Structure 1
Amino acid sequence: MALRPLDNALPIAPARPKKQPKVAVSIQKLSDLGVNDENRAPLPPTTSDATIDYIPSENLKALSDPEIKIHRLVEGLESKDWLKVCDSLNNARRFAFYHSTLLLPILEKVMSVLVKAMKNPRSALCKTSIMASSDIFNTFGDKLLESTTSDAFDQMLLQLLLKACQDKRFVCEEADRALKVMVMSMTPVPLLHKLRAYVSHASLRVRAKAAISISHCVSKMGLEEMKEFGLAALVQITAELLNDKLPEAREAARSTVISIYKAFTENEEQKQESWQSFCQSSLPAIHAQAIVKIVPSS
């Protein structure tokens, strides 16, 4: 006989789903997601980085329709797309080489973008901006001080000194080249006035890079130019660098002393005063002694 269901029977509850086991998910840091950290080794190039072409200056080609493209240059430099900024920086280099009169009116704006790009942690953008600064130095030379504000030049000089101190070798080497081009393309005296500010910089490495640029600058100068800057001031700067902690700064200072000494002793009028007497009259005794030891007394 079939059993009848009970009218008061409770409904059977559905089975509760089992809890899913928790899975640990690793979270990548920003520095692991394609952004280079200046204090770490450079990351391998990404697909985007690999598309950057570092064009040597001698391989740059002139632009077609430069009068039209100059109006688009600033827009490209201010783009939020870093690849477009790199392309615009290379165009700025082309303008510097082949159409410099068109670039001159917006030169300060271009320098501002260069400084911003040098601060960018993306190495490709940083290197491209440094290469652009070399070409701008090479083309405009002293006009950079005549056609732009002092602050614009100072900011670019500071960034080049900082980048020359980096651990990223290819950025550091590019900045060193740019500083050499700067020295070769500009009149020594006004440039020395700019460089002397970094002799007392808080960073040892910045001081060393500034000392090297000062040495290159002084090697181009004759005695009259040294006197225009201030011969006593020049040996005082050099004496300060001779006591620096980094050997690169001290070696650059010794090279500077030799350049000053050669200019001093080759001048017929200056021979009436001995090199040793000049150093003793311009420096404290202990510093004068350190300077005189570098080269034989005249």
Structure 2
Amino acid sequence: MALRPIDNALSIVPDGLRPKKQAKVSIQPQKKASEISVNDENKAPLPQPIDASVDYVASEDLKPFQDPESNIQSLVEGLDSKDWVKVCQSLNDARRFSLYHPGLLLPVLEKVMLVVVKSMKNPRSALCKTSIMAASDIFNAYGEKLLSTDSSAFDQLLLQLLLKASQDKKFVCEEADKSLTAMVNSIAALPLLQKLRGFVNHGNLRVRAKAAVSISNSVYKMGSEEIKEFGSVTLLQMASDLLNDRLPEAREAARSIVLSVYEAFTENEKLDTEEDWQSFCQSNLSMIQAQLMIKVVSSQ
């Protein structure tokens, strides 16, 4: 049975569809940038705004530093700034380091990730989107190395991306979806699934759905041996919860997970009949769960 990953916002975006030009967005900051805290989520904007702008620069339009060694210290200072526009600029510099000088950024990568997380929480859309774009470039540059950094930094980053992908502000949501796609494409499925599995029971139904999509796309990448190593039964139990979810996105992701496990099962065991599948499900799952798995496969 030939399977395809589910078609949703996290589907892989071909390089040709990425924007080729910088999109300039006008920003109305507070009167005094020095009074702004990067993590101030509650203050209303002050009167008499000054003009400022933030460029959303596509990854392919970012350039390497001519003298990266002399710029790394100013990067750290910029990330600590209380001026949110300066933080945006520093996050774009962090993207340049991750793409062209990853070795220089690696010693301060954990700090960068924490600033990215902090900026995602900021109510300013420009700062939030810039931080999400930085997360995408960091995923593409470092992949599984991110899992060897402070685990809490990656966990916080993953949570914030799921939350931003679940919100109503479309341009932020779409950017977060792209970042989650970059994460799935750059990190091996097994360790990533260990991080994602806890979110299928998250209290926010949109977070559950976004996590389910990332899980299904990760499982689709796995071979039969990897699925067996992670646990076919574990994946089916995970999917059974999502099959009854309120959001169609989560239910479709769950069906994709089940079909990936079914394909791996028939390939690994040299089986091709639904009877063997039914026996496997009934032997390892509850009656209700087994019925759900059987129904998904028989409906294909």
TM-score by length of 2: 0.81
Cα distance in 2, alignment partners of residues 132 and 234 from structure 1:
31
1:209-254 per-residue CA deviation (whole Å, 9 max, x = no partner) reads 1001101110000111111111111111011111112111111101
> Which whole-Å CA distance do the structure 2 matches of 1:172 and 1:228 have between them?
33
Using the TM superposition, give the Cα deviation of residue 286 of structure 1 relative to its aligned residue in structure 2, in angstroms: 1.2
Any unmatched runs of 5+ in structure 1? 1-32, 39-45
**Among candidates 132, 135, 141, match of residue 133 of structure 1:** 135
SS for the counterpart of 2:55 is coil
Q: 1:13-54 CA deviation, whole Å, 9 max, x = no partner?
A: xxxxxxxxxxxxxxxxxxxx899xx9xxxxxxx8746x1110
Amino acid at match of 2:70: I
Residue 65 of structure 1: how far off its partner (Å): 0.9
- For residues 116-195 of structure 1, the aligned pairs below 5 Å read 116-146=118-148, 148-195=149-196
**Residues 235 and 257 in structure 2, CA contact (< 8 A), matched pair in contact too:** no
| Counterpart AA for 2:147 | L
Runs of 4+ in structure 1 over 3 Å off = 46-49, 268-273
The whole-number CA distance in structure 2 between the counterparts of 1:239 and 1:281 is 15
RMSD of aligned alpha carbons: 2.1
Indicate the residue corresponding to 2:214 in structure 1. Answer: 213
AA in 2 matched with 1:183: V
- CA 1:48–1:175 in 2, change beyond 3 Å: closer, same or farther? farther
2:70 corresponds to which residue? 68
State the aligned residue count: 255
Amino acid across the alignment from 1:257: V
CA contact (8 A) 1:137 1:181 kept: yes
The higher relative CO (CA closer than 8 Å, separation ≥ 6) is in 2
Paired position in structure 2 for 1:12? none
2: CA distance, partners of 1:247 / 1:253: 10
Asked if structure 1 preserves the Cα contact closer than 8 Å seen for 2:79 and 2:87, the reply is: yes
Counterparts of 2:50 and 2:291, CA distance in 1: 58
The residue that corresponds to 2:258 in the other structure is 257
Deviation of 1:283 (Å): 1.4
Partner amino acid, structure 2, of 1:286: I
- Secondary structure of 2:73's partner? helix
TM-score (norm 1): 0.81
Shift of 1:296: 3.0
TM-superposed CA distance for 1:281, in Å, is: 1.7
* Aligned 8 A contact 2:79 2:115 in 1: yes
1:240 matches 2:241: yes
Question: Are the equivalent residues in 1 in contact too, given 2:92–2:130 (CA < 8 A)?
Answer: yes
Rounded Cα–Cα distance in structure 2 between residues aligned with 1:250 and 1:98: 40
Q: Which amino acid aligns with 1:53?
A: D
| 1:223 corresponding residue in structure 2 | 224
Deviations 1:163-182 (A, max 9, x none): 00111000000000000000
Structure 2 equivalent of residue 54 of structure 1: 56
Alignment partners' CA distance in 1, 2:218 and 2:252: 15
Unaligned runs of 5+ in 2: 1-29, 42-48
Give the CA deviation at 1:266: 2.2
Contact 2:245–2:251 (CA under 8 A) maintained in structure 1: yes
